[in-house]
Amino acid sequence: MTTLFRLLLVSALAASHAPAQSPFDYDARLPLDLRDSLWQTQEGIEIRAISFASPKGGRVTGLLYLPTTPAPHPGVVLGHGAPGNSRGFRTVELGLALAKSGAVVLAIDAPFARRNAPPLSFTPSDSADQIQLIVDFRRGVDLLSNRPDVDRSRLGYLGNSYGGAQGALLVGVEPRITAAVLRVADGGFLAHFSDPCDEGARGPETIAGCLRWSIAEEDLPAAQRERWVASLRPIEPIQFVGNTRARLLLQSGRQDDAVTPARARRLHATVPPGATVEWYDSGHRLPPGATLSAVAFLARHLGLSAPSEALADWLEARAAVPASPLR
Protein backbone atom coordinates (compact mmCIF):
# COMPACT_ATOMS: atom_id res chain seq x y z
CA MET A 1 0.00 0.00 0.00
CA THR A 2 1.52 3.32 -1.03
CA THR A 3 1.79 6.25 1.33
CA LEU A 4 -0.59 8.29 -0.83
CA PHE A 5 -3.18 5.50 -0.83
CA ARG A 6 -2.97 5.19 2.97
CA LEU A 7 -3.49 8.94 3.37
CA LEU A 8 -6.50 8.86 1.05
CA LEU A 9 -7.93 5.88 2.93
CA VAL A 10 -7.50 7.55 6.33
CA SER A 11 -9.12 10.73 4.99
CA ALA A 12 -12.07 8.79 3.57
CA LEU A 13 -12.59 6.87 6.83
CA ALA A 14 -12.45 10.09 8.86
CA ALA A 15 -15.02 11.70 6.57
CA SER A 16 -17.32 8.67 6.88
CA HIS A 17 -17.29 8.99 10.69
CA ALA A 18 -17.62 12.79 10.80
CA PRO A 19 -20.84 14.03 12.40
CA ALA A 20 -23.50 15.24 9.98
CA GLN A 21 -23.61 19.01 9.70
CA SER A 22 -26.59 20.54 11.46
CA PRO A 23 -28.85 22.85 9.43
CA PHE A 24 -28.44 25.30 12.31
CA ASP A 25 -24.65 25.57 11.98
CA TYR A 26 -23.11 28.78 10.65
CA ASP A 27 -19.74 30.50 10.39
CA ALA A 28 -19.32 32.43 13.64
CA ARG A 29 -16.33 34.25 12.12
CA LEU A 30 -18.55 36.23 9.76
CA PRO A 31 -18.77 39.93 10.67
CA LEU A 32 -21.98 41.00 12.40
CA ASP A 33 -21.98 44.38 10.65
CA LEU A 34 -24.07 45.80 13.49
CA ARG A 35 -26.14 48.93 12.91
CA ASP A 36 -27.60 50.64 15.95
CA SER A 37 -29.71 53.73 16.57
CA LEU A 38 -31.99 54.99 19.35
CA TRP A 39 -35.63 53.95 18.86
CA GLN A 40 -37.16 55.39 22.02
CA THR A 41 -36.86 55.53 25.79
CA GLN A 42 -39.58 53.93 27.92
CA GLU A 43 -39.71 53.67 31.70
CA GLY A 44 -36.15 55.00 31.78
CA ILE A 45 -34.96 52.09 29.60
CA GLU A 46 -33.13 52.96 26.40
CA ILE A 47 -34.48 50.88 23.51
CA ARG A 48 -32.31 50.79 20.40
CA ALA A 49 -33.27 49.70 16.88
CA ILE A 50 -30.60 47.31 15.65
CA SER A 51 -29.82 45.20 12.62
CA PHE A 52 -27.04 42.79 11.79
CA ALA A 53 -26.03 40.49 8.95
CA SER A 54 -27.69 37.06 8.85
CA PRO A 55 -25.51 34.11 7.82
CA LYS A 56 -28.56 32.98 5.84
CA GLY A 57 -28.81 36.22 3.89
CA GLY A 58 -30.28 39.66 4.44
CA ARG A 59 -30.29 41.54 7.70
CA VAL A 60 -31.77 40.60 11.06
CA THR A 61 -33.79 43.41 12.63
CA GLY A 62 -34.94 43.91 16.19
CA LEU A 63 -34.70 45.91 19.39
CA LEU A 64 -32.01 46.06 22.05
CA TYR A 65 -32.95 47.04 25.63
CA LEU A 66 -30.27 48.55 27.86
CA PRO A 67 -30.79 48.43 31.65
CA THR A 68 -29.83 51.26 33.95
CA THR A 69 -28.21 49.06 36.60
CA PRO A 70 -24.40 48.63 36.74
CA ALA A 71 -22.74 46.14 34.38
CA PRO A 72 -22.03 43.31 33.85
CA HIS A 73 -25.55 42.19 32.99
CA PRO A 74 -27.13 38.91 32.02
CA GLY A 75 -28.12 38.77 28.34
CA VAL A 76 -31.54 37.52 27.23
CA VAL A 77 -32.78 36.80 23.70
CA LEU A 78 -36.51 37.47 23.31
CA GLY A 79 -38.77 35.74 20.77
CA HIS A 80 -42.16 37.16 19.73
CA GLY A 81 -45.41 35.47 18.72
CA ALA A 82 -47.00 34.85 15.32
CA PRO A 83 -48.28 37.02 13.85
CA GLY A 84 -46.16 39.67 15.50
CA ASN A 85 -42.79 41.34 15.59
CA SER A 86 -40.29 42.73 18.06
CA ARG A 87 -42.27 45.99 18.39
CA GLY A 88 -45.59 44.44 19.41
CA PHE A 89 -47.07 45.85 22.61
CA ARG A 90 -46.74 42.65 24.67
CA THR A 91 -43.28 41.84 23.31
CA VAL A 92 -42.07 45.31 24.29
CA GLU A 93 -43.66 44.73 27.69
CA LEU A 94 -41.58 41.58 28.18
CA GLY A 95 -38.44 43.37 27.00
CA LEU A 96 -39.00 46.22 29.43
CA ALA A 97 -39.78 43.87 32.33
CA LEU A 98 -36.50 42.03 31.76
CA ALA A 99 -34.47 45.21 31.29
CA LYS A 100 -36.01 46.74 34.43
CA SER A 101 -34.74 43.62 36.20
CA GLY A 102 -31.19 44.12 34.93
CA ALA A 103 -30.90 42.21 31.63
CA VAL A 104 -29.58 43.40 28.29
CA VAL A 105 -32.40 42.13 26.07
CA LEU A 106 -32.25 41.43 22.34
CA ALA A 107 -35.66 40.99 20.68
CA ILE A 108 -35.31 39.59 17.15
CA ASP A 109 -37.82 39.82 14.29
CA ALA A 110 -38.66 36.49 12.69
CA PRO A 111 -38.02 36.24 8.93
CA PHE A 112 -41.75 36.52 8.12
CA ALA A 113 -41.96 39.72 10.19
CA ARG A 114 -39.04 41.26 8.27
CA ARG A 115 -40.95 40.62 5.03
CA ASN A 116 -44.21 41.86 6.55
CA ALA A 117 -45.67 38.52 5.43
CA PRO A 118 -47.97 35.90 7.03
CA PRO A 119 -46.17 33.52 9.40
CA LEU A 120 -47.00 30.45 7.29
CA SER A 121 -47.21 29.61 3.61
CA PHE A 122 -47.67 25.82 4.16
CA THR A 123 -44.80 25.23 1.73
CA PRO A 124 -41.18 24.14 2.30
CA SER A 125 -40.23 27.81 2.57
CA ASP A 126 -41.60 27.63 6.14
CA SER A 127 -38.77 25.21 6.90
CA ALA A 128 -36.19 27.61 5.45
CA ASP A 129 -37.64 30.43 7.57
CA GLN A 130 -37.43 28.31 10.72
CA ILE A 131 -33.81 27.38 10.08
CA GLN A 132 -32.96 31.02 9.43
CA LEU A 133 -34.67 32.13 12.64
CA ILE A 134 -32.69 29.67 14.77
CA VAL A 135 -29.42 30.66 13.09
CA ASP A 136 -30.31 34.32 13.64
CA PHE A 137 -31.12 33.64 17.31
CA ARG A 138 -27.71 31.99 17.67
CA ARG A 139 -26.13 35.00 15.97
CA GLY A 140 -27.98 37.15 18.50
CA VAL A 141 -26.29 35.12 21.25
CA ASP A 142 -22.99 36.01 19.56
CA LEU A 143 -23.97 39.68 19.63
CA LEU A 144 -24.80 39.59 23.34
CA SER A 145 -21.69 37.56 24.18
CA ASN A 146 -19.45 40.11 22.48
CA ARG A 147 -20.84 43.10 24.36
CA PRO A 148 -18.57 44.37 27.14
CA ASP A 149 -21.58 45.02 29.40
CA VAL A 150 -22.84 41.40 29.19
CA ASP A 151 -21.61 38.45 31.25
CA ARG A 152 -21.40 35.68 28.63
CA SER A 153 -21.77 33.02 31.32
CA ARG A 154 -25.30 34.30 32.08
CA LEU A 155 -27.29 34.02 28.84
CA GLY A 156 -31.00 33.23 28.66
CA TYR A 157 -34.01 33.09 26.41
CA LEU A 158 -37.67 34.03 26.77
CA GLY A 159 -40.21 33.26 24.05
CA ASN A 160 -43.95 33.69 23.81
CA SER A 161 -46.27 31.45 21.71
CA TYR A 162 -44.43 31.00 18.37
CA GLY A 163 -41.34 32.35 20.15
CA GLY A 164 -41.88 29.77 22.88
CA ALA A 165 -42.08 26.87 20.42
CA GLN A 166 -39.03 28.08 18.51
CA GLY A 167 -37.24 28.53 21.84
CA ALA A 168 -37.74 24.79 22.45
CA LEU A 169 -35.67 24.22 19.31
CA LEU A 170 -33.09 26.90 20.15
CA VAL A 171 -32.27 25.52 23.59
CA GLY A 172 -31.74 22.09 22.04
CA VAL A 173 -29.02 23.33 19.67
CA GLU A 174 -27.49 26.35 21.46
CA PRO A 175 -25.46 25.28 24.52
CA ARG A 176 -24.70 28.84 25.64
CA ILE A 177 -28.31 29.35 26.77
CA THR A 178 -28.33 28.39 30.45
CA ALA A 179 -31.93 29.29 31.38
CA ALA A 180 -35.07 29.73 29.29
CA VAL A 181 -38.76 30.49 29.72
CA LEU A 182 -41.12 28.98 27.11
CA ARG A 183 -44.55 30.62 27.37
CA VAL A 184 -47.76 29.16 25.86
CA ALA A 185 -45.64 26.93 23.61
CA ASP A 186 -46.32 23.69 21.78
CA GLY A 187 -43.95 21.40 19.90
CA GLY A 188 -43.82 23.35 16.62
CA PHE A 189 -45.92 23.93 13.51
CA LEU A 190 -46.77 20.27 12.92
CA ALA A 191 -47.66 19.79 16.57
CA HIS A 192 -49.75 22.97 16.42
CA PHE A 193 -52.02 21.72 13.63
CA SER A 194 -52.27 18.01 14.40
CA ASP A 195 -52.77 15.32 17.03
CA PRO A 196 -51.32 11.81 16.92
CA CYS A 197 -53.74 9.04 16.03
CA ASP A 198 -52.08 7.03 18.81
CA GLU A 199 -53.08 8.74 22.03
CA GLY A 200 -50.24 6.97 23.83
CA ALA A 201 -47.57 8.55 21.61
CA ARG A 202 -44.91 10.54 23.43
CA GLY A 203 -42.26 13.06 22.41
CA PRO A 204 -41.19 12.99 18.73
CA GLU A 205 -43.58 10.08 18.17
CA THR A 206 -46.44 12.60 18.40
CA ILE A 207 -45.52 14.09 15.00
CA ALA A 208 -44.61 10.78 13.31
CA GLY A 209 -46.86 8.31 11.57
CA CYS A 210 -50.63 8.77 11.54
CA LEU A 211 -51.80 12.31 12.38
CA ARG A 212 -55.26 13.83 12.76
CA TRP A 213 -55.19 17.31 11.22
CA SER A 214 -57.09 20.39 12.37
CA ILE A 215 -56.74 21.84 8.84
CA ALA A 216 -59.37 20.72 6.35
CA GLU A 217 -58.05 18.99 3.22
CA GLU A 218 -59.75 21.56 0.98
CA ASP A 219 -57.66 24.21 2.70
CA LEU A 220 -54.44 22.18 2.59
CA PRO A 221 -54.54 19.41 -0.05
CA ALA A 222 -52.87 16.15 0.92
CA ALA A 223 -50.00 16.40 -1.59
CA GLN A 224 -49.11 19.93 -0.49
CA ARG A 225 -49.45 18.92 3.16
CA GLU A 226 -47.08 15.98 2.76
CA ARG A 227 -44.41 18.17 1.13
CA TRP A 228 -44.79 20.63 3.99
CA VAL A 229 -44.61 17.89 6.62
CA ALA A 230 -41.51 16.36 5.03
CA SER A 231 -39.72 19.72 5.12
CA LEU A 232 -40.60 20.49 8.75
CA ARG A 233 -40.55 17.14 10.54
CA PRO A 234 -36.70 16.93 10.80
CA ILE A 235 -36.55 20.38 12.45
CA GLU A 236 -39.69 20.26 14.60
CA PRO A 237 -38.84 21.77 18.03
CA ILE A 238 -40.25 18.79 19.94
CA GLN A 239 -37.44 16.74 18.37
CA PHE A 240 -34.73 18.91 19.99
CA VAL A 241 -35.84 20.26 23.37
CA GLY A 242 -34.90 17.04 25.15
CA ASN A 243 -31.23 17.69 24.31
CA THR A 244 -30.96 20.88 26.34
CA ARG A 245 -29.00 21.34 29.54
CA ALA A 246 -30.62 24.73 30.17
CA ARG A 247 -32.87 25.31 33.15
CA LEU A 248 -36.42 25.48 31.78
CA LEU A 249 -39.68 27.09 32.86
CA LEU A 250 -42.77 26.27 30.78
CA GLN A 251 -45.94 28.34 31.29
CA SER A 252 -49.34 27.44 29.81
CA GLY A 253 -53.00 28.44 30.07
CA ARG A 254 -55.74 25.98 30.99
CA GLN A 255 -58.26 27.81 28.77
CA ASP A 256 -55.87 28.39 25.87
CA ASP A 257 -57.62 27.76 22.54
CA ALA A 258 -54.58 28.73 20.43
CA VAL A 259 -52.18 26.24 22.01
CA THR A 260 -54.52 23.68 23.51
CA PRO A 261 -53.59 22.16 26.88
CA ALA A 262 -53.22 18.72 25.26
CA ARG A 263 -50.67 20.04 22.76
CA ALA A 264 -48.85 22.01 25.45
CA ARG A 265 -48.60 18.86 27.60
CA ARG A 266 -46.98 16.95 24.75
CA LEU A 267 -44.14 19.47 24.78
CA HIS A 268 -43.97 19.40 28.58
CA ALA A 269 -43.59 15.62 28.51
CA THR A 270 -40.53 15.92 26.25
CA VAL A 271 -38.36 18.30 28.27
CA PRO A 272 -35.54 16.96 30.46
CA PRO A 273 -36.19 16.10 34.13
CA GLY A 274 -36.01 19.07 36.46
CA ALA A 275 -37.90 21.51 34.25
CA THR A 276 -40.56 23.64 35.96
CA VAL A 277 -44.10 23.66 34.55
CA GLU A 278 -46.71 26.27 35.52
CA TRP A 279 -50.39 26.31 34.61
CA TYR A 280 -52.57 29.43 34.78
CA ASP A 281 -56.34 29.86 34.70
CA SER A 282 -56.08 31.92 31.53
CA GLY A 283 -56.25 31.74 27.78
CA HIS A 284 -53.34 32.35 25.42
CA ARG A 285 -52.57 35.67 27.06
CA LEU A 286 -51.04 34.87 30.43
CA PRO A 287 -51.71 37.08 33.47
CA PRO A 288 -49.14 39.51 34.94
CA GLY A 289 -48.29 36.96 37.63
CA ALA A 290 -46.84 34.70 34.93
CA THR A 291 -44.44 37.43 33.83
CA LEU A 292 -43.40 38.01 37.45
CA SER A 293 -42.78 34.29 37.80
CA ALA A 294 -40.72 34.28 34.59
CA VAL A 295 -38.59 37.16 35.88
CA ALA A 296 -38.18 35.42 39.24
CA PHE A 297 -37.08 32.22 37.46
CA LEU A 298 -34.47 34.08 35.41
CA ALA A 299 -33.43 35.99 38.53
CA ARG A 300 -32.56 32.69 40.21
CA HIS A 301 -30.66 31.24 37.28
CA LEU A 302 -29.14 34.30 35.58
CA GLY A 303 -28.75 36.77 38.40
CA LEU A 304 -31.51 39.23 37.51
CA SER A 305 -33.07 41.39 40.19
CA ALA A 306 -36.00 39.68 41.88
CA PRO A 307 -39.41 41.10 40.88
CA SER A 308 -40.37 44.15 42.90
CA GLU A 309 -43.75 45.55 43.94
CA ALA A 310 -43.18 48.38 41.48
CA LEU A 311 -42.74 45.89 38.64
CA ALA A 312 -45.90 44.03 39.71
CA ASP A 313 -47.91 47.29 39.73
CA TRP A 314 -46.52 48.28 36.33
CA LEU A 315 -47.46 44.93 34.80
CA GLU A 316 -50.97 45.14 36.25
CA ALA A 317 -51.40 48.57 34.64
CA ARG A 318 -50.14 47.25 31.28
CA ALA A 319 -52.52 44.29 31.49
CA ALA A 320 -55.47 46.69 31.29
CA VAL A 321 -54.37 47.88 27.83
CA PRO A 322 -55.91 45.85 24.95
CA ALA A 323 -53.42 44.11 22.66
CA SER A 324 -53.59 41.68 19.76
CA PRO A 325 -53.40 37.98 20.70
CA LEU A 326 -50.35 35.83 20.00
CA ARG A 327 -47.92 38.67 20.65
pLDDT: is 9 or 297 the higher one?
297
Over residues 104-133, mean pLDDT: 97
Residues 6+ apart with CB under 8 A from 144: 75, 77, 104, 106, 150, 152, 155
Query: Which element (helix H / strand E) includes 127?
Result: helix 125-145
pLDDT of residue 322: 75
Instruction: Tell me how far the alpha carbon of residue 294 is from its chain's centroid.
Output: 15
pLDDT of residue 209: 85
Q: Is 240 within 8 Å of 168 (Cβ atoms)?
A: yes
Residue 19 CB neighbour total at 10 angstroms: 5
In this structure, what are the phi and psi dihedrals at residue 129, rounded to the nearest 5 degrees?
-65, -40
Q: Is 211 within 8 Å of 246 (Cβ atoms)?
A: no
For the whole model, what pTM was predicted?
Answer: 0.92
- Where does the pLDDT of residue 14 fall: very low under 50, low under 70, confident under 90, or very high at 90 and above? very low
Flag whether pLDDT at 149 surpasses 90: yes
Q: Exposed, middle or buried by CB within 10 Å (0-12, 13-18, 19+), for 231?
A: middle
Over residues 241-266, mean pLDDT: 97
* Domains present along the chain, CATH in parentheses: 34-189+240-318 (3.40.50.1820)
